[in-house]
Structure 1
Amino acid sequence: MFVLYIIFIIYFLIFSDWYGRTGEMQEYHYNLVLFKEIKRFWEYRDQVGMFAMFTNLFGNVIIFMPFGFFMPMASKYRSLLSTVFYSFGLSLCVETFQLLTKVGSFDVDDLLLNTIGGLAGYILFVICAAIRRRHVYKKKNNHRRR
């Protein structure tokens, strides 16, 4: 599942036809000011549309949640810090690729939102792992009582 997710995320963020990624742009746009694009999408949500605002602000978080969830399962490094580090690292790789190839656009706000998505996925992983451990513990105790 993790490998399929990585293939999907690379395709979606780099090669997908969404958001004008069909070829190299004539004039390349990038954002190096934190919160600039987040603020712009929020302030102009009526003009850009709710779908564009939602996909830019929440889509970047949602698309990295599976990474934060699967990362601790696929790696010996299961800490919050390593998951945040690798989420940021993957996002930086994608953004740098977009910068170098002029496909999509480099945006520090995307780095932040993607990293938050990885963090949210990790929190979901921790919750699911705790529920699983609790279920296994109850099952063992019920089995011992018989």
Structure 2
Amino acid sequence: NNFIPFYFFVDVYHEGLQYYVIRSIGGNLILLLPVGLLFPLLFKKLNNVKRILLTGFFISLFIELAQLSISVYIRSVYRSFDVDDLILNTLGTVIGYWLFFILSMFYKRVTYRFKSNTSINIE
């Protein structure tokens, strides 16, 4: 179990396993990115950064606690609770929301231009 933020990454990096660190960071960022990108489309109440951040945090916390609970239940290290995963998954959710926000602004701009250029002039 890792309860100290980024301690594991620094330790592994110094052991020469930079690929593992990059892969782990990337995987954790990508894991909940779809939550930030798609949940605002599915749930109108999640269309603000604070709510999506909390949603990502609690989904990630649930995953980490489930891993810890399974390890305790089977009395073996199945998966461990990792605060880095919690932080990076939450950040991935925020990045997903940021992409949603940018894409929605782009969509609104394109549809506005399309609507203004396709007006029918009947004489």
CA spacing shift, 1:130–1:85, aligned 2, 3 Å: same
Taking the aligned partners of 2:13 and 2:94, their CA distance within structure 1 comes to: 22
After TM superposition, the score normalised by the length of structure 2 is: 0.85
Aligned partner of 2:33 in structure 1 is: 65
Aligned partner of 1:142 in structure 2 is: 117
After TM superposition, the score normalised by the length of structure 1 is: 0.73
List aligned pairs for 1:1-146, cutoff 5 A.
30-44=1-15, 46=16, 48=17, 50=19, 52-77=20-45, 78-102=47-71, 103-144=78-119
Taking the aligned partners of 2:28 and 2:87, their CA distance within structure 1 comes to: 9
Give the fraction of aligned pairs with identical amino acids, expressed as a percent.
31
CA spacing shift, 1:57–1:42, aligned 2, 3 Å: farther
5+ residue gaps, structure 2: 72-77
CA contact (8 A) 2:56 2:90 kept: yes
- Indicate the structure (1 or 2) with the bigger Cα radius of gyration: 2
Letter in 2 for 1:90: I
5+ residue gaps, structure 1: 1-29
CA RMSD of aligned residues (A): 1.5
Which deviations, in whole Å up to 9, do the C-alpha atoms of 1:66-98 show, x marking residues without a partner?
A: 111011111122100111100000000000000
Q: What is the SS of the residue equivalent to 1:105? A: coil
Aligned partner of 2:75 in structure 1 is: none
